[in-house]
Amino acid sequence: MTTQVHGVGLLVVAALSGLLVACSTSVQKVPVGAALVAPIDAGTKIIQFRKIADALPKGELVGKSRFGVLCIPGKPLAWRDGRVNVNDDEFAESFRQEVEKAKFATVVESGATLETAISPRAGFLVSGQVAGVSMDTCAPWSDFGNWRDARGGAYVKVQWQVYSTLQKKVVYETATEGSYQTDDSVSGGTTELMRSAFASATQNLLADAAFYRTIHGDKKGASAMAEPLRAMEAAKGASAVDEPRSAVFTVIAGMNRGSGFVVSADGYLITSEHTVRGYQLVKLKSATGRESLGFVIRRDEQSDVALVQLTERNASTLALRSSPAVLAGEDVYVMDVVARAPDIGIRKGAVGTQKDAVGPKWVRTSVPLAPLDAGAPFFDKTGKVVGVAVASAVDDPAQPTGGFVPISEVLARLALSFK
């Protein structure tokens, strides 16, 4: 009797072992690299996942499928056959989640199609192409009508392409692999296994030092001073403060509105950083009604100033007065850029004392400022720019006085000089 029980036990163990072997699934395993975390000023380099394309023809066999508690072999898995059918939104969401874990700035345009979804905020567009897939899955509860849950593994190879909206060309191409394996059934089955493998391939893209340098240069974990930028010499200046209106613009970034002004013939414009925060492409409208586009190329959040490169050239410019410094009591002027030309209003005030703000110093004036004045130029009586109106300088509405960051400090903050 004991011998019979022992024999039955061995048969059970053998059966269970055979069951485990039959249910085992495996795919090529790919190690995951450590993502290179973006620097603290990553918000200036916004990336957008553009699309995922297929290098695999629909219906190509990509792996094995099994079903039931015994994981009986079933119909082979075919790409995009209804069982392996991850859609573009799921790929995009996986990409966004992994990129944001690495502190990269991303943008998603909800409600837009792939053909129209390019965001004006995006500095880089990232596209992927599925070049290889391998899967081995089992739906163990299919005997009970549950085909949605599955376990097993998935492998994917993705060819990546990075397009710069500023340079208007592809600036980097590479390929990464990713895999995912689980012995536990997951909701979503083959779709979820494939999505997880794609997330792994995205992680390996984020671990790619060349990809990191393409987006962020050689910065490592903290903001670094930008390389000096030399622009064409500024204009000589107007003879009166109401003449430079063609060089002053309303800056439009999404729902944000502010002011800005052109400082060089090669199209560099200074504006407020908070107006363009989170945007790479902005719209510009001059007081004379002329419209243009510009790319945000430098930002300094501490002093609330930013530099925009206009898409047009030979724009009207303003002359700058970096020295001598303005003196207490000196008259200064701000132009109402939002007024309709030729009814351009000019507000006059006097320079007060220098105030220590958080970070850079700014100069208090008696000129009242409104939120739309942020980024506007302060002129002296000869029409030369002495400073940039800043949002932090706007006081209590009950005492509407404002101020500016001296133009010499603005140029230093943006690392901008003239040839």
pLDDT tens per residue across span 151-188: 888 999 999 999 998 888 999 999 999 999 988 888 88
Is residue 115 exposed (0-12), middle (13-18) or buried (19+ Cβ within 10 Å)? exposed
Phi then psi for residue 233, to 5 deg, are: -55, 140
Query: What 3-state class would DSSP assign to 203?
Result: helix
Query: Can you tell me which residue has the tokens 């794609």?
Result: 198
Strands 416-418 vs 305-310: parallel, antiparallel or unpaired? unpaired
Q: What is the pLDDT of residues 205-263, one digit of tens each?
A: 998 989 988 988 765 433 334 556 666 665 544 444 445 677 889 999 888 999 999 99
Q: Domains plus CATH for the chain?
A: 26-216 (3.40.50), 229-418 (2.40.10.120)
pLDDT at 413 over 80: yes
Q: What is the pLDDT of residues 12-43, one digit of tens each?
A: 434 434 444 445 657 788 888 887 777 655 55
- Measured CA to CA, the distance from residue 217 to residue 170 in angstroms comes to 16
- Measured CA to CA, the distance from residue 48 to residue 37 in angstroms comes to 17
Nearest to 133 by CA among 207, 201, 188, 202: 201
pLDDT at 326 over 90: no
- Measured CA to CA, the distance from residue 104 to residue 117 in angstroms comes to 19
pLDDT at 115 over 70: no
pTM for the whole thing?
0.54
Q: How confident is the model at residue 417 (pLDDT cuts 50, 70, 90)?
A: confident
- Measured CA to CA, the distance from residue 248 to residue 377 in angstroms comes to 8
CA atoms within 13 A on the CB side of 351: 20
Nearest to 77 by CA among 189, 185, 198: 189
Q: What is the pLDDT of residues 80-94, one digit of tens each?
A: 776 667 777 888 888
CA atoms within 13 A on the CB side of 171: 19
Query: Can you tell me which residue has the tokens 């500095």?
Result: 123
Query: Can you tell me which residue has the tokens 């573009």?
Result: 88
